[in-house]
Amino acid sequence: MTPLGGERKQGTVCIFGTGDFGRSLGLRLLQAGYEVVFGSRDPKNTSLVPQGSKVMIHTEAAQMAQVIFIAIQRDHYQFLTSLTSSLEGKVLVDVSNNLKMGQYPQSNAEYLSSLVPGASVVKGFNTVSAWALQSGALDASRQVLLCGDEPKAKQAVVDIAHSLGLTAQDRGSLRAAGELEDIPLQLFPLWRLPLWVAAGITAFFFFYLLVRDVIYAYVEKDQDISYRIMITLANKVFPIVALVMLSLCYLPGALAAILQLYRGTKYKRFPDWLDRWMLSRKQLGLLALFFAILHVIYTFIISIRYNVIHTRDTEVIKQIKDNQSEPFDNAEAWATDSFLSLGVLGFSMFLLLGITSLPSVSNTLNWREFRFVQSKLGYLTLVLCTTHCLLYGWNKFLKPSTYKWFTPPGFMLCLVLPCVVLVLKLLLSIPCVDSRLTRIRNGWERPTRSRSMERGTAL
């Protein structure tokens, strides 16, 4: 990726600022065949700008190009007021980012626009990193988000983005600049709530099972089985969290359906908490899958664990000493094999769900296919995993010894939510309920309220 010589016919672009971003952008523009002119206070210091570009003082540089990238920090924008006449009618691209969200009351781009009212300011390129421009590898996003008030100015910037091999997305008027400036500062905003939920559920079940298993054994039987925390306990907590999180994916959909049935229309907004919940479903599901994967791996290593091997050997030795062998229990064989088999099938469906939620895979699905996978396959997964959990306790529900200190075991607690979701789904699938819901979702509204006749005819 060396600068190409030859005749450059792409036109000239000006960059104010010879910092990291400015120079990376300059190099990339040169590679794409543009002439690049840097605006600088000290044009003689050309040591750092990419080979093939020129450095001039700001006023001269501004005259060379229609589009000027302002690659300097907001604190230094003030000096641009002295160049107002040179910048008249130019397109100024504000590529700046702030150090933290809401650092300034006004977005950088709007501030720039107020300083140089005669120029058309376009916010853009701030979501692309200097490193990405330099390396050309563009592992991170290759999408340029931009906004501005002047369509022609935006088009000029879109054209430059395209010729650099980037895609561009117009985000509207300059008012959206603040939003764009916040984007590079975000750290997984959609994942926060689901992560807190997962952490909370994990912590609750961890301490609940710690008390019931380890502390109970210590207090009541004077046994030290604390070593079980590392795997045995973890492998009880993880599947529980996975199942609870999976049902939390499907609960909001059921609640929304009930709300729509109750209101008799889909044209009323859901309460905010439900809206947020609905939008977190993908993240909830992926976290559930992560916990399920941990559960599966912990299960696979059960039989190479020291204590498992020791317990088995002890049992065999005991059987021999007592001179009696345990008879084969056909019911036990059926139950445990079914339990394992359902777990495997549930997990494989869950994996499928996870794979189809990869952006590049979901992009190849049409709307009907996407809903088929996320809804039909999702409920199948939930049914399989819930049954897997039910079979785990098939012969434990009625045993008094299960209820240590009068508390139910973890797997019973965690069955509550998925069973509620499945019952709700079952009720919503009753033909008369389902058909009404379908009509509501196609735009029908309960006739008691007066609505325009046209409603029914519209898509």
Residues 350 to 389: which contact a copy of itself by CB under 8 A?
A: 351-352, 357-370, 372
Question: Among the residues of 183-329, which ranges form H helices?
Answer: 189-209, 216-221, 234-263, 272-279, 281-300, 306-321
CA atoms within 13 A of residue 288's CA, in its CB half-sphere: 28
Choices 60-68, 185-193, 212-220, 246-254; region in contact with a copy of itself by CB under 8 A: 185-193
Q: Does 220 interact with a copy of itself (rule: CB under 8 A)?
A: no
Enumerate residues 4-43 that contact a copy of itself by CB under 8 A.
Answer: 4-11, 17-22, 31-33, 40-42
Q: Which residues contact 458 (CB under 8 A, 6 or more apart)?
A: 443
3-state secondary structure (DSSP) of residue 43:
coil
* Bridge partners, 68 (sequence order): 14, 92
- Label the pairing between strands 143-148 and 120-124: antiparallel
CA dihedral 281, 194, 237, 300 (to 10 degrees): 60
Which lies closer to a copy of itself via its Cβ, residue 8 or residue 413? 8
Q: How far apart are CA 67 and CA 80, in angstroms?
A: 15
Q: Which of residues 143-162 bind a copy of itself (CB under 8 A)?
A: 143, 149-151, 162
302 binding a copy of itself? (CB under 8 A): yes
Residue from 216, 270, 290, 379 binding a copy of itself (CB under 8 A): 290
**396 touches a copy of itself by CB under 8 A:** no
Q: Which is nearer to a copy of itself, 45 or 63 (CB)?
A: 45
Out of 107, 127, 260, 283, the residue judged to bind a copy of itself by CB under 8 A = 127
Site string for a copy of itself, 42-81 (x = CB under 8 A): x--x--x----------------------xxx-xx-----
Is position 325 an interface residue for a copy of itself (rule: CB under 8 A)?
yes
Residue 116 near residue 87 (C-beta atoms within 8 A): yes
What is the nearest approach in angstroms of a copy of itself to the Cβ of residue 420? Answer: 25
Structure tokens at 331: 């019911």
Minimum CB distance to a copy of itself, residue 63 (Å): 19
CB of 282 to a copy of itself, least distance (A): 7
Site for a copy of itself contains 398 (CB under 8 A): no
Q: Which long-range contacts (CB under 8 A, 24 or more apart) does 254-257 make?
A: 254/421, 254/424, 254/425, 254/428, 257/428, 257/437
444 belongs to the binding site for a copy of itself (CB under 8 A): no
